[in-house]
């Protein structure tokens, strides 16, 4: 189904087309028409490879809580999101059996240092597979043999392993009945995400943990963050050692294949919303505080005006060898700049602007043109395509010019041969006699006119390779970060900076790139032609740069492409730890917004990309007045509210609201069980104080509550208040089955969302 922006669809599971393992295809045919039967047969063997004892990091889309983060995670169950929707079911808990929704082969085990007698986490070890299957000593491993290995697997293959005390494993590992609720599939729209996530098909599989993290500890009046570590492990062949299993673990360790691990720290004062609230949202310019210690003067006003327009002062080594200081501003400006025409300059130095009042030069556009030229030369494929195109254009112009002069000579009564000789003599004598440039200028103007009149359509339009390269360059792909942010103070930590794209800077950048292949001043007519058109077609083509490829499953989400460029292009730079912590964070923007009706004109993004682990660049097709930053739906966390104060058995948790599952029109609406009463989350009795959830028991409780009707279940309105009347329709179809998809819906916490208003930009 096609989802709208911000929507999410839960599915129980997605079986793989073929389970990893060895296969054999046998074909047999008998021909009986030749007097006696003649059998023909053939066999073909092949293997389907899949993760088993190790997992490529590329399979993991994101984890929650984020790797290495400090935050308010104590009430959230850890989970991992995979890029492949079938991964949790590609193997069975029982080796060799067909995939099944209730037999997920992987699980998340969560530990804190307090779980171990020495106060230290177990260290992963890289061991051969044979040492995992037959650990020896006081350890047990998966009940697998060499006969269970596929053709692409070997006992000598290395894999990461961890040894967990058997008693601890039995306390925190999921029960067999729990496993069916701890994995599901999510389908989301990826249209508002960065390019890496945008290109995904929107289907993700999720594996959920069954234990809440250890919360922060009190050290007097100062709370201390507590480290927790999550281990994604394989449970294949370990059913007998799960809680309630028949395997003997007395005094033994359990050796597990470690697929992935990450750590995080719990500290209530940090969260997604707190990270957003700590952002300073301003225009993309140097802070005015840099001039706070300077006495008011005309000089200070001059510098202040430069800062307010996005300029920075940089050291400048001129071509003649002198060192000076010049103004520079990148393509991102805090003010809106109109598109203006300027006289063509064949070399970047011609774009240097000199302020005679103070002796400073502005190298903004000169730097852009020089950068464009260097980037064009750096890409051999683009340079070859552009040179070939320039040659075709120049050749057609010269042919058209020669024909025009030839016709003039013929009309004057000369023969064809003498007319051609006159043409050659005129061109040569004109070139030799031209000492002041006047005749050459006249010739250039004549050729420029021929561009408008004589060029064919296939020459007027550059080849697709050139157009696409320039379109990406216009969106600042390939542009070094130092050209975008020339001073670190423009983008300090925990900041969000708004900008407009400078059309003059972009035009100079493209003009420099298109100068590649110019061999003489006689080709100035080609440059004159290109510079009047490439900004327009690059702008139009840039709207289609952000495209999603066709899905191999044929179910890719449709992408709405902007049909017309809406200048000025605007956007923002975001520098924050949440960029690194939340893969697939969503960015939305509006060019108008009515606060009363909560309705506005949403803008489509033309680029959303991560420039570094903690820096995001977003460019939208039009002027932005309001933005929204939201946690990714595919990474929404699972959790419950803590029950204050914690009892003597350790922390306890509850759910205050549930979500309606039917009818479909109301799916997702919140409901509540009995006024003033919460739904407690059951904890494992034999793991007292260890925050381990009885998942299967909780699932049965939720199912029974959702199938209630009448006075036991109340709908909630948009304000979160209980409606006056109880529901007459159950929140779940009484004949439906409660699966991992329904469990995911009920345990999912609403994603964090922050709105930021952008002030009107000056000019």
Domain layout of the chain by residue ranges: 8-16+49-273, 282-542, 638-747
User: Predicted confidence band at 434 (pLDDT cuts at 50, 70, 90)?
Assistant: very low
Q: What is the 3-state secondary structure (H, E, C) of 117-144?
A: CCCCCCCCEEEEHHHHHCCCCCEECCCC
Most confident range, picked from 70-74, 423-427, 537-541 = 70-74
Report the share of the chain in percent with pLDDT over 70.
78
CA distance 210 to 152: 33
pLDDT of 341 strictly over 80:
no
Per the model's pLDDT, the better-predicted residue between 553 and 53 turns out to be 53
CB-CB contact of 509 with 627 (8 Å):
no
User: Predicted confidence band at 596 (pLDDT cuts at 50, 70, 90)?
Assistant: confident
The label of the residue with tokens 């500290």 reads 267
- The pLDDT score that the predictor gives to residue 532 is 66
User: Predicted confidence band at 428 (pLDDT cuts at 50, 70, 90)?
Assistant: very low
User: Predicted confidence band at 319 (pLDDT cuts at 50, 70, 90)?
Assistant: confident
User: Predicted confidence band at 639 (pLDDT cuts at 50, 70, 90)?
Assistant: confident
User: Predicted confidence band at 570 (pLDDT cuts at 50, 70, 90)?
Assistant: very high
- Among 310, 102, 190, which residue's Cα sits nearest to residue 737? 102
User: Predicted confidence band at 300 (pLDDT cuts at 50, 70, 90)?
Assistant: confident
Within 13 Å, how many C-alpha atoms sit on residue 47's CB side?
10
Q: What count of other Cβ atoms lies within 10 Å of the Cβ of residue 285?
A: 24
**For 464-503, how does the pLDDT look when each residue is reduced to its tens digit (9 = 90+)?**
889 899 999 999 999 999 999 999 999 999 999 999 999 9
CA distance 331 to 505: 6
User: Predicted confidence band at 690 (pLDDT cuts at 50, 70, 90)?
Assistant: very high
- Total residues belonging to the chain: 763
**For 383-408, how does the pLDDT look when each residue is reduced to its tens digit (9 = 90+)?**
999 999 888 887 777 776 555 555 55
User: Predicted confidence band at 199 (pLDDT cuts at 50, 70, 90)?
Assistant: low
Query: And the tokens for 526?
Result: 């080609």
Per the model's pLDDT, the better-predicted residue between 36 and 446 turns out to be 36
Most confident range, picked from 594-608, 651-665, 688-702 = 688-702
- The pLDDT score that the predictor gives to residue 121 is 94
Region 112-118: what's the mean pLDDT? Answer: 91
Within 13 Å, how many C-alpha atoms sit on residue 15's CB side?
11
CA distance 614 to 686: 42
Per the model's pLDDT, the better-predicted residue between 396 and 158 turns out to be 158
pLDDT of 220 strictly over 50:
yes
CA distance 54 to 538: 45
CA distance 533 to 326: 31
Region 657-667: what's the mean pLDDT? Answer: 74
CA distance 726 to 712: 7
**For 226-285, how does the pLDDT look when each residue is reduced to its tens digit (9 = 90+)?**
899 999 999 999 999 999 999 999 999 999 999 999 999 988 766 777 778 888 999 999
User: Predicted confidence band at 445 (pLDDT cuts at 50, 70, 90)?
Assistant: very low
- The pLDDT score that the predictor gives to residue 400 is 65
Compute CA 551 distance to the chain's CA centroid, rounded to the nearest angstrom: 17
- The pLDDT score that the predictor gives to residue 526 is 74
Residue 516's SS3 state is coil
- Between the alpha carbon of residue 449 and those of residues 345, 388, 398, 404, 432, the distances in Å are 19, 22, 12, 12, 24
**For 699-729, how does the pLDDT look when each residue is reduced to its tens digit (9 = 90+)?**
999 998 888 765 566 555 434 444 444 556 7
- The pLDDT score that the predictor gives to residue 540 is 78
Q: Which residues contact 410 (CB under 8 A, 6 or more apart)?
A: 416, 419
- The pLDDT score that the predictor gives to residue 326 is 92
**For 501-526, how does the pLDDT look when each residue is reduced to its tens digit (9 = 90+)?**
999 999 999 989 988 888 776 677 77
The sign of the dihedral angle between the CA atoms of 484, 489, 495, 498 is negative
- The pLDDT score that the predictor gives to residue 209 is 96
pLDDT of 222 strictly over 80:
no
Most confident range, picked from 16-25, 555-564, 687-696 = 687-696
- The pLDDT score that the predictor gives to residue 405 is 59
């Amino acid at each position: 189904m096609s989802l709208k922006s911000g929507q999410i669809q839960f599915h129980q599971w997605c079986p793989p087309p073929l389970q990893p393992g060895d296969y054999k295809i046998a074909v047999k045919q008998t021909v009986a028409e030749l007097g006696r039967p003649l059998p023909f047969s053939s066999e073909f063997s092949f293997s389907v490879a899949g993760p088993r004892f190790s997992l490529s990091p590329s399979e993991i889309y994101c984890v929650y809580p984020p790797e290495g983060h400090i935050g308010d995670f104590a009430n959230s169950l850890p989970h991992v999101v995979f890029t492949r929707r079938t991964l949790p079911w590609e193997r069975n808990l029982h080796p060799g059996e067909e995939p099944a929704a209730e037999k997920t082969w992987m699980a998340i085990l969560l530990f804190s240092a307090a779980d171990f007698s020495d106060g230290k986490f177990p260290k992963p070890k890289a061991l051969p597979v044979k040492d995992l299957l037959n650990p020896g000593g006081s350890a047990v491993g998966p009940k697998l043999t060499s006969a269970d290995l596929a053709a692409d697997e070997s006992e000598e293959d290395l894999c990461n392993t961890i040894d967990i005390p058997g008693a601890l494993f039995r306390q925190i590992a999921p029960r067999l009945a729990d496993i069916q609720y701890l994995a599901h599939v999510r389908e989301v729209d990826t249209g508002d995400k960065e390019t890496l996530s945008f290109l995904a098909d929107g289907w993700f599989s999720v594996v959920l943990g069954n234990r809440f993290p250890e919360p922060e500890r009190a050290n007097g009046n100062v709370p201390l963050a507590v480290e927790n570590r999550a281990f994604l492990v394989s449970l294949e062949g370990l059913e007998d050692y799960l809680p309630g299993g028949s395997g003997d673990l007395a005094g033994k360790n359990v050796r597990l294949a470690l697929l992935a691990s990450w750590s995080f720290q719990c500290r209530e004062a940090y969260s997604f919303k707190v990270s957003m609230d700590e952002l300073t949202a301003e225009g993309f310019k140097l802070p005015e505080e840099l001039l706070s210690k300077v006495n008011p003067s005309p000089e200070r006003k001059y510098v202040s005006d430069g800062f307010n327009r996005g300029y920075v002062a940089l050291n400048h080594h001129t071509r003649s060898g002198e060192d000076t200081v010049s103004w520079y501003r990148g393509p991102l400006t805090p003010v809106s700049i109109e598109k203006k025409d300027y006289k063509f300059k064949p070399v970047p130095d011609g774009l240097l602007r000199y302020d005679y009042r103070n002796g400073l030069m502005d190298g903004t556009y000169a730097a852009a043109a020089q950068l464009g030229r260097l980037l064009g030369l750096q890409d051999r494929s683009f340079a070859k395509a552009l040179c070939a195109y320039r040659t075709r254009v120049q050749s057609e112009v010269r042919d058209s010019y020669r024909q025009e002069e030839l016709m003039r000579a013929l009309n004057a009564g000369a023969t064809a041969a003498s007319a051609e000789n006159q043409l050659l003599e005129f061109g040569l004598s004109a070139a030799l006699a031209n000492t002041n440039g006047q005749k050459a200028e006249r010739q250039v103007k004549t050729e420029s006119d021929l561009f408008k009149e004589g060029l064919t359509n296939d020459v007027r339009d550059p080849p697709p390779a050139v157009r696409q390269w320039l379109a990406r360059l216009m969106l600042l792909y390939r542009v070094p970060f130092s050209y975008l942010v020339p001073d670190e103070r423009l983008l300090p930590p925990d900041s969000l900076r708004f900008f407009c794209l400078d059309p003059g800077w972009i035009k100079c950048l493209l003009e420099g790139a298109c100068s590649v292949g110019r061999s003489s001043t006689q080709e100035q007519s080609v440059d004159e032609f290109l510079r009047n058109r490439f900004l327009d077609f690059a702008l139009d083509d840039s709207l289609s740069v952000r495209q999603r490829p066709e899905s191999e499953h044929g179910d890719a989400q449709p992408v709405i492409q902007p049909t017309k460029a809406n200048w000025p292009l605007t956007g923002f730079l975001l520098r924050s730890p949440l960029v690194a912590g939340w893969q697939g964070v969503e960015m939305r923007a509006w060019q108008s917004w009515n606060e009363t009706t909560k309705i506005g004109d949403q803008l489509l993004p033309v680029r959303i990309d991560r420039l570094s682990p903690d820096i995001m660049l977003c460019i939208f097709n039009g002027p932005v007045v309001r933005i929204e930053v939201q946690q990714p739906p595919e990474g929404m966390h699972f959790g419950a509210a803590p029950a204050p104060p914690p009892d003597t058995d350790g922390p306890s948790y509850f759910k205050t609201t549930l979500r309606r599952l039917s009818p479909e029109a109301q799916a997702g609406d919140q409901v509540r069980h009995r006024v003033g009463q919460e739904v407690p989350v059951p904890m494992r009795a034999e793991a007292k104080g260890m925050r381990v959830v009885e998942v299967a028991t909780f699932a049965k409780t939720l199912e029974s509550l959702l199938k209630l009707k009448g006075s036991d279940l109340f709908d909630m309105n948009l304000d979160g208040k209980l409606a006056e009347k109880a529901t007459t329709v159950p929140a779940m179809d009484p004949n439906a089955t409660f699966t991992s998809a329904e469990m995911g819906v009920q345990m999912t916490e609403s994603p964090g969302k922050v709105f930021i208003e952008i002030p009107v930009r000056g000019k």
